[in-house]
A and B are shown apart, each in its own frame.
Chain A
Amino acid sequence: MLRFIGFRLLQALPVLLVVITVTFFLIRVAPGGPFDSEKAVIPEVQAALEAQYRLNLTLFQQYTAYLGDLFHGDFGPSFKYPGRSVNELIAAGFPVTAELAFYALLVALTIGGIAGIVASLKPNSAQDYIPMSVAMIGICMPSLLLGPILILLFGIYLDWLPVSGWGDSPGDKILPAITLGSAYAAYIARLSRAGMLEVMSQDYIRTARAKGLPEWQVVSRHALRGGMIPVVAFLVLAFAGLLSGSFVVETIFQIPGLGRFYVQAAFNRDYTMILGSTIFLATLIVFFNLLSDILAAWMNPRLRDQMRAL
């Protein structure tokens, strides 16, 4: 088991190194520097700035120095805001994004999971069609449309909830969480329905019924476990996806999270910020992928044995 995890962690290291390297050099290729737009600067200041950003070194020296910094957990200073480090920006933005992602996942799991299971218990009936049609709307109504519509409806016409901000006024977390979670709710609904239908058609469900167990026990003891494995594996991946996919929602609701910072950095060509957050998020996602694999294997006794044997 530990060897399995260790093995996978070892595999993850080169992946991260590739990400860092590719991102680093891509950024260097990008046209324009951070100070291009500003007025002519005094040569001494320019030199000092270049030294601060190590632009006076060769590309390879910059790269190795950056790797050294990364090893110490230092993403370097921001290009755009010379006074602040990328670490500070990530530290400010990430908790907000993580909280948003968590609420969104909660929304997605509650609505999606229940809808999917309910639908799977009576396939091809109204109990199936209605939640699944709603799920289809969730898939086809992207957050960039759902967000503004929810704002229009609940924020402006009905005036029930605040339309922007994060933690500034009560209830301002509700609309972003729903907007971000809706597409995932829909996926979870479809995934859990498919998973449950698959399991419910297995022979061992018939065995459980032949034992005389009541239907709720057949579902809860025998079907849920197998049927929910894909959902659990997906949840972990979804959390990673939410962390790195909340740009739109953070932009719509003006939430000071990592996603918004990233988009702003992309506009400002704040290269160190882009580089730092890309590496940060890639590391997170690689980690969550690993976690998802381990969880899925852990829930299946057969895979668990194979993992132990490794």
Chain B
Amino acid sequence: MTNPAIGDLAQTQPGTSLWQDAWLRLRRNRLALVGLIILLLFIFIAAVTPWIAPYGYAQQDLELGAAPPSAAHWLGTDIFGRDLLTQIMFGGRISLAVGFVATAVALLIGITWGAIAGYMGGRVDAVMMRLVDIIYALPFMIFIILLMVVFGRNMLLLFLAIGAVEWLTMARIMRSQVQSLRQQEFVEAAVSLGLPTATIIRRHLIPNALGPIIVYTTLTVPSVMLLEAFLSFLGLGVQPPETSWGLLISYGAESMEEYPWLLLFPGLALTLTLFSLNFLGDGLRDALDVRGAKD
């Protein structure tokens, strides 16, 4: 190993970074890997649905009506004779979009809020986090319903409303990350080297705060999707002619006695996605060695 003659960096042996380490650990976690693959598959299908869907989205076959799975309709049809697979594929586009877009909204607000509170500290921090505590204490499901009632059932609002309640946890995690990292000696060392604040944040804080953020992003997506499903199920979320998995389940539940497949297949799609996201999130948590997130 020791070679005093080495005069060039390129001749040295590369080390294993913590990211590489985490990736190795994640690869060994089979459930998380399966979750990742299913998730990527679903996202891919959702992206190309308009081109690969077996039937048109609005295409009906009133003569056929509700039919069980067959060669022509792999997952059967609903009472209007619409192909269920097509419906699920289009519904998935909305469900996944809500999940990811609302999470992105939550991520943006939460990280900014938490980072500012954690970095400023003192009174600013106290006021900002007190506000988070207050909103935390509110019945947010009720608030989303309230917002949907007041502003009408509009998709963009749904993204914003869900994002606006889900950012709280993210802000708390980010704040505690920034706070604990600020006290780390390597950050103090960077300060005493005279590094500018922007460089300290970019090179020393962010890479080390990223792990927990990645994990909780992965775990926020399923809870957002669940929220959308709840609202749509109650008729307060996605509205026809659009559809989502929550809405499909709600229709399926109405006629499950006669046509159980209308409940089971959309339910399966939703459950499978939630499983994948949760297993991936748990796997990432172990791989990135993120411990309890409560402050």
Contacts and interface: CB of A to CB of B under 8 A. Distances in A.
A152 B278 contact: no
A192 to B, nearest CB: 13
B139 A278 contact: yes
Interface string A256-270: 000000110011010
Given A15-B134, A30-B149, A262 B233 contact: no
Given A26-B146, A140-B275, A262-B145, A267 B137 contact: no
Contact of A144 (B150, B151, B253): B253
B118 interface: no
Contacts of B263: 145, 148-149, 152
Nearest to B134: A15
B145 A144 contact: no
B145 A139 contact: no
A142 B226 contact: yes
B233 to A, nearest CB: 4
Contact of B236 (A156, A230, A252, A266): A266
Nearest to B230: A248
B138 A19 contact: yes
Nearest to A286: B137
A194 B285 CA distance: 13
A286 B136 CA distance: 9
Interface of B is mostly: helix
A263 B149 contact: no
A278 B142 contact: yes
Contacts of A281: 139, 142
Interface string B122-164: 0000000000001011110111011111111000000000000
A274 interface: yes
B250 interface: yes
Of A19, A139, A145, most buried by chain B (CB within 10 Å of CB) is A145
Interface of B: 134, 136-139, 141-143, 145-152, 222, 226, 229-230, 233-236, 246, 249-250, 252-253, 256-257, 260, 263, 267, 270-271, 274-275, 278-279, 292, 294
Interface of A: 15, 18-19, 23, 26-27, 29-31, 136, 139-142, 144-145, 147-149, 151-152, 156, 194, 198, 230, 240, 244-245, 247-248, 251-252, 262-263, 266-267, 269, 274, 277-278, 281-282, 285-286, 289
